Every structure is written in C-alpha cells, then in structure tokens.
C-alpha cells in the first residue's frame, strides 16, 4: 500500500527531520531577509534531484515532483521566516543570531515538508499525481509572502492546497481544523494623538497627549462590547502606547498601535469606522488633533468544507493521531488565507505541546515536541493520497 510505504519512509527520516529543524533553529532569519534559509532549501532539492524554482515572489522556493502514476496536482505549503525575539531556551540548538528566533515553529514546518519531499522522491515511480512543495517566506509580517507567490502564477494549475501549523497549545497526537472559518483576519492600526506639551506643574496650559491617549485606549475597548452585535466575533487590542520623555513634562504627542481581528468584512468595516469616531470625539472634547491609519492585513483563513473533512478523515489513517477534531476558530491570523481564496484546500493544526516545557507561540522560551513533525508529515501525505 502506497501510504504504508510513505509512512515507513517518514519514520526512517525522523532523525533527519530533527537535524534539519535544529539547524534551521540555530540559523533563523527575519521576514523578507531569509536568503540563507531559502538557499538551504533550494540546495536540498538540488541534491534530491527534484526540479525547483527559487526567488518565487521574493524569497520563496517552489519544487515539483511528478509521480509515476496519473493523479491530481496538490500543493503543500510550509513557511520559513523567524521572529525578532531573543531566545531564552538553554538547548543545544539555541539560536545563534542575536534577537532573532524561530518562536513559532516555522523551522519545524520546513523540516516537515523537506521530509515529505525526501520520502516522496524515494517512492516517485509509485506515487500518484504531482506534489508541489511551497516553501514560503515572510508569513510573520504583512503583506507576507503568500500573495506574491500566488501572483507569480506558479500555483495556477494545482488542484488543491493544504498546510499545517505545529500548534504548541494542543497535545501531541491531535489534529484540529474547521469546515469554514478557522483563523481570523488580522489588521493593524496606527494612531497619533496631537496635543500640546508643557510643564508638568502647569497642565492647564497643555493638551496632555498621555491623558487623551488613555481615554482613547479605554474607549476602544467599548467598540466590541457596546457597538458590535453580540453575535459578531472580533478583537480590538492596543499593543503599544508611546509618549513622553521626562517625569515632569506633559507629553505633546502619543503614538498608539494595535490590531483588529475579524471574520466578516462588514464587521471589519464597522470597527474601522468606529475607531475613527472614537478619535474624533475624544480629541474634539480635548481640543486636540489626531492622525489615523488603518492597514488591512491578512484575510480570514476560510477552509473549504470538503477538504477540511478530508483532512480529518485522512488523519484517521495515522496511528500517531489520537484525536482529529473540528474546533471553533481562533483569533490568530495566517496568510495561508490567500491560498484558500484561490484554490480548494484546508489548513489545520498539528498538536505539538511540549508538556514539560510549555510556552506559547512568540514567547522567548517557545519550543515544541519534535515528534509532532511525524504526525504533520503523515497527515499531509494521507490527505494527499486521499485527494487522488
């Protein structure tokens, strides 16, 4: 049976996948700066003898393996950028790059996809259809790498696209997805409060940007709780508040940045307008001014129902999978959304919790159970075979 042979190859390749992941973890690169990582990926396909293209949409690498038997053309995607975080783990594979770390599992995604490529190459003559390996740069920072890759047209002829995220919040052996909305659209906003600075002992002669900004932060929290339909799902978060230079000086300006997460375009537009109303009202009341920019980021990840159910069904063929479930959507964002706007497919989480060392994604002590790469690889391969 084809799937059994592929699974056996993945088992054989596990230590190789771990070595690949740890090498990448030691040598992380930030979004849009992943030249060495892209070269490493391209060199791997060169050594395997799998045709590939580099510099796809930027630093992307896309390889194509045509099987010896007829079938559909399926794309599998993995991202490979890191984050601007100083790693705090004390491990042999700790990042060697100051203030840069794979704190989201993208090193594991890349190692998993390369493992799949090696297993598939070994069984190429027996393989049905065609596998397209999409190694994507710059997922962490909008506008991201997915859309530029799609815009090249390199995926125009694929029948479907699938991807997974190693998910440290979920136990090992768990596969999670959703039939439709799975991850939220992720936007950001930038606000500047324009007041009038002055002496800390004479606040009546100033327009205190710290005070005005604080009122804005508080009022923004009322958009979701008091302006949206309670059945709508959204998040408005202020992430930074920068103002002032001295303890005895009233700040004349303040800068706020934040994120908005939604699943519905109408809700997104409402929040965008409500933020403006808050700014107009509070700054007018305080005789101050403002500037406001709303930057639309990744759209929501909306799975295709048939493909999402196929993932869950395919996961049943993987003995390491103990639970394969449909779950409620999460408010985190992903530019995998763009692939699903163009092709049928589904995105899913592969449980990767390291129970004796649990820290969330984007934490300086983030790590994951490397055995999750086996689960991810086998579930993706099972999905690929099931789609033929």
Just list the catalytic residues: 81, 139
- The verdict on whether residue 106 carries a ligand-binding annotation is yes
DSSP assignment string, 29-57 = -BTT--HHHHHHHHHHHHHHT--EEEEET
Q: Are 104 and 140 in contact (CB under 8 A)?
A: yes
Counts for the chain of helices (H) and strands (E), in that order: 10, 16
- The verdict on whether residue 362 carries a ligand-binding annotation is yes
Q: Are 379 and 318 in contact (CB under 8 A)?
A: yes
In Å, what is the CA distance from 378 to each residue of 115, 235, 383? 10, 34, 8
Q: Are 187 and 372 in contact (CB under 8 A)?
A: no
Q: Are 256 and 217 in contact (CB under 8 A)?
A: yes
Kind of pairing between the strands at 323-326 and 174-177: parallel
Nearest to 333 by CA among 162, 168, 143, 174: 143
Q: Locate all alpha helices (DSSP H) within 90-144, ordered by sequence.
A: 106-122
Q: How many CB atoms lie within 10 A of CB 303?
A: 27
Query: Residue 105: how many CA atoms within 13 Å on its side-chain side?
Result: 27
- The verdict on whether residue 204 carries a ligand-binding annotation is no
Kind of pairing between the strands at 128-136 and 345-351: unpaired
Residue 284 CB partners (closer than 8 Å, separation 6+): none
Nearest to 23 by CA among 97, 88, 85: 97
Nearest to 69 by CA among 114, 17, 117, 131: 131
Nearest to 67 by CA among 4, 3, 125, 6: 125
- The verdict on whether residue 109 carries a ligand-binding annotation is no
Known binding-site residues for Mn(2+) equal 104, 106, 140, 165, 362
């Amino acid at each position: 049976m084809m799937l059994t042979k592929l699974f056996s190859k993945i088992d054989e390749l596990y230590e190789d996948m771990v070595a690949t992941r740890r090498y990448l973890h030691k040598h992380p690169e930030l979004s849009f700066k992943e030249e060495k990582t892209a070269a490493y990926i391209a060199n791997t396909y060169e050594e395997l003898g799998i045709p590939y293209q580099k510099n796809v949409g930027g630093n992307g690498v896309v390889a194509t393996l045509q099987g010896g038997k007829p079938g559909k053309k399926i794309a599998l995607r993995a991202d490979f950028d890191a984050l601007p975080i100083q790693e705090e783990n004390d491990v042999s594979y700790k990042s060697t790059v100051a203030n840069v770390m794979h704190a989201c599992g993208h090193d594991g995604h890349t190692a998993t996809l390369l493992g799949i490529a090696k297993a598939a190459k070994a069984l190429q003559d027996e393989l049905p259809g065609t596998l397209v390996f999409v190694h994507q740069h710059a997922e962490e920072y909008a506008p991201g790498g997915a859309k530029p890759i799609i815009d090249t047209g390199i995926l125009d002829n694929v029948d479907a696209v699938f991807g997974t995220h190693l998910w440290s919040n979920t136990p090992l052996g768990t596969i999670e997805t959703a039939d439709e909305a799975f991850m939220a659209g992720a936007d950001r906003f930038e606000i500047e409060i324009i007041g009038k600075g002055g002496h800390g002992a004479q606040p009546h002669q100033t327009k205190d940007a710290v005070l005005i900004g604080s009122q804005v932060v508080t009022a923004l929290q009322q958009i979701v709780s008091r302006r949206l339909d309670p059945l709508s799902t959204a998040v408005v978060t202020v992430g930074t508040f920068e103002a002032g230079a001295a303890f005895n000086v009233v700040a004349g300006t303040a800068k706020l940045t934040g994120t908005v997460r939604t699943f519905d375009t109408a809700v997104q537009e409402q929040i965008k307008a409500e933020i403006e109303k808050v700014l107009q009202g509070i700054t007018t009341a305080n005789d101050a001014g403002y500037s406001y920019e709303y930057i639309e980021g990744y759209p929501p990840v909306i799975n295709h129902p048939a493909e999402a159910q196929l993932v869950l069904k395919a996961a049943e063929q993987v003995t390491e999978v103990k639970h394969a479930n449909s779950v409620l959507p999460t408010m985190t964002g992903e530019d995998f959304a763009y692939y699903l706007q163009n092709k049928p497919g589904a995105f899913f989480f592969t449980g990767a919790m390291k129970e004796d060392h649990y820290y969330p994604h984007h934490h300086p002590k983030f790590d994951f159970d490397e055995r999750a790469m086996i689960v991810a690889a086998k579930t993706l391969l099972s999905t690929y075979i099931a789609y033929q």
